[in-house]
Chains A and B, each alone.
Chain A
Amino acid sequence: MSVMEALPDVLAVALLLLGTLLCLTAGLGLLRFPDVLTRMHAGTKPQVLGVLLIMVGAAIRLQGWSATWMLLLVAAFQMLTAPVSAHMISRVAYRRRHVRRDRLLVDELHTGGEMRDSVYRGDEPADAPPEEPGRALVESRREDLDGPPDAGGRQPS
């Protein structure tokens, strides 16, 4: 076996081993880091770089176009989806306050200690029951007595 024949195999095996090393570091980081955001930072290492390295290594070893395209698909898909899922998990972690704030250097989302449940509006159906039933009842009774509110008045939300 000449050097030129052995070279792709050596390269592929080196890439595969690098990728598996990244998987090991992901496990270590997941175990040792203190909160959700840092654990996610460790867990995302094999998701992009590790998967890319392993896919390239496997594509070199497999030597067939069909397998190569499918491995390329997996790599592209990982690179598309890893940011999305990381974004969603970290957003929920921040809003549910599973974040060590004493470890944050910059906290741009901090609202100044306002502790109140706040839910996105506009997602409820049009015939949803009113948010505050008592006030809605009082307003509707006043409208029954006084007639409909004038045009410049507050639109009922």
Chain B
Amino acid sequence: MTVVFWLAYGMLGVGALLTLVRLGMGPSLLDRVVATDTLLVIIAAGLAVHAGLQRDPTVVPVLVVVSLLAFVGSVSVARYIGGMLLRSAGDGQDVGLPEAAEERAARSLEADR
């Protein structure tokens, strides 16, 4: 059982750590939104794994709240950035999004050529 504990929490922890790295690196706000969403899902999974391994049903209501929170957070941020936009001329720097790493990479590729 100890092996199972280490394996489960180790995989969850490494996964959460990697999403935290993506959350810090960015490069765009949407990447951070996706990373936050995934991080909350991993936290919910960790709570469920704890509940399952310890046979401890007290954390199960917390699970419902966390999964609700992930949905509401990501949708509200997406609405906030996008608004009623159908098509954009800029890449969103006018509303505070950083320059898209994709655009920068494509431009440097063009410059090298």
Chain A residues within 8 Å of B, Cβ to Cβ: 12-13, 16-17, 19-21, 23-28, 30-31, 34-36, 39-40, 43, 46-47, 50-51, 54-55, 57-58, 60-64, 66-67, 70-71, 73-74, 77-78, 81, 84-85, 88-89, 91-93, 95-100, 102, 111, 114-120, 123
Nearest to A64 among chain B residues (CB) is B57
Nearest to A14 among chain B residues (CB) is B4
Q: Is the beta-carbon distance between B52 and A30 smaller than 8 angstroms?
A: no
B103 at the interface (CB under 8 A from A): yes
Looking at the assembled complex, report how far the CB atom of A115 sits from the nearest CB atom of chain B, in whole angstroms. 5
**What is the size, in residues, of chain B's interface with A at 8 Å between Cβ atoms?**
64
**What are the interface flags for B7-33 relative to A under an 8 Å C-beta threshold, 1 for contact and 0 otherwise?**
111011011111101100000101101
Q: Among the listed B15, B92, B103, which residue makes an inter-chain contact with A26, where contact means beta carbons less than 8 Å apart?
A: B15
Decide: A78 near B67, CB < 8 A? Known: A16-B8, A19-B49, A62-B52: yes
| Complex alpha-carbon distance, A27 and B83, angstroms | 29
Q: Is the beta-carbon distance between B38 and A30 smaller than 8 angstroms?
A: yes
| Complex alpha-carbon distance, A9 and B18, angstroms | 30
Q: Is the beta-carbon distance between B52 and A12 smaller than 8 angstroms?
A: yes
Q: Is the beta-carbon distance between A118 and B38 smaller than 8 angstroms?
A: no
Looking at the assembled complex, report how far the CB atom of B98 sits from the nearest CB atom of chain A, in whole angstroms. 10
Q: Is the beta-carbon distance between A20 and B49 smaller than 8 angstroms?
A: yes
Q: Among the listed A43, A66, A116, which residue makes an inter-chain contact with B87, where contact means beta carbons less than 8 Å apart?
A: A116
Looking at the assembled complex, report how far the CB atom of A37 sits from the nearest CB atom of chain B, in whole angstroms. 10
| Chain B residues positioned under 8 Å from A21 (CB to CB) | 11
Q: Is the beta-carbon distance between A95 and B18 smaller than 8 angstroms?
A: no
| Chain A residues positioned under 8 Å from B12 (CB to CB) | 20, 23-24
The 3 closest A-B pairs by CB, nearest first: A27-B18, A27-B15, A58-B52
| Complex alpha-carbon distance, A120 and B53, angstroms | 50
Looking at the assembled complex, report how far the CB atom of B34 sits from the nearest CB atom of chain A, in whole angstroms. 5
| Complex alpha-carbon distance, A111 and B42, angstroms | 37
Q: Is the beta-carbon distance between A43 and B7 smaller than 8 angstroms?
A: no
Nearest to B99 among chain A residues (CB) is A98
| Complex alpha-carbon distance, A98 and B29, angstroms | 10
| Chain A residues positioned under 8 Å from B87 (CB to CB) | 95, 111, 114, 116-118
Q: Among the listed A12, A57, A70, which residue makes an inter-chain contact with B64, where contact means beta carbons less than 8 Å apart?
A: A70
Q: Is the beta-carbon distance between A43 and B38 smaller than 8 angstroms?
A: yes
| Complex alpha-carbon distance, A81 and B16, angstroms | 21
| Complex alpha-carbon distance, A20 and B7, angstroms | 9
